Amino acid sequence: MMQTTVGWHVEMEFEEDDQHTRAVALVRVPDGTEIRGHGRASRHHTDCNQPRVGEEIAGARALNELAMQLLAKAHGEIDAMSGRTSHPINV
């Protein structure tokens, strides 16, 4: 049995101010498609300013959106090749 190792690199970018963090996650898949997910986080006015925490929350939300788009893309490809409707498993 032949094994193949494939790697994908995800890029994350953040924009922040004192109250908000915005994140964009980008992955380029082997077929050349670029998929972007977006996430946001807002700091409650009583919380201390911890940019890393905002990045973690916004980044996780961006990665979650990216994952959902990858699932939709994969199921679209399954449907196109098989002629049937696949049913994604929601986690």
The pLDDT tens digits of the residues spanning 19-54 come to: 999 999 999 999 999 999 999 999 988 888 888 899
pTM comes to 0.84
φ, ψ for residue 53 (rounded to 5)?
Answer: -65, -45
Structure confidence by residue, pLDDT tens digits, 45-65: 888 888 889 999 999 999 999
Residue 48: the pLDDT is: 84
Confidence band for 90, pLDDT divided at 50, 70 and 90: low
DSSP 85: -
Topology annotation, domain 10-81:
Double Stranded RNA Binding Domain (3.30.160)
In eight-state DSSP terms, residue 90 is: P
Sheet architecture: strand order including 20-28: 10-16, 20-28, 34-42
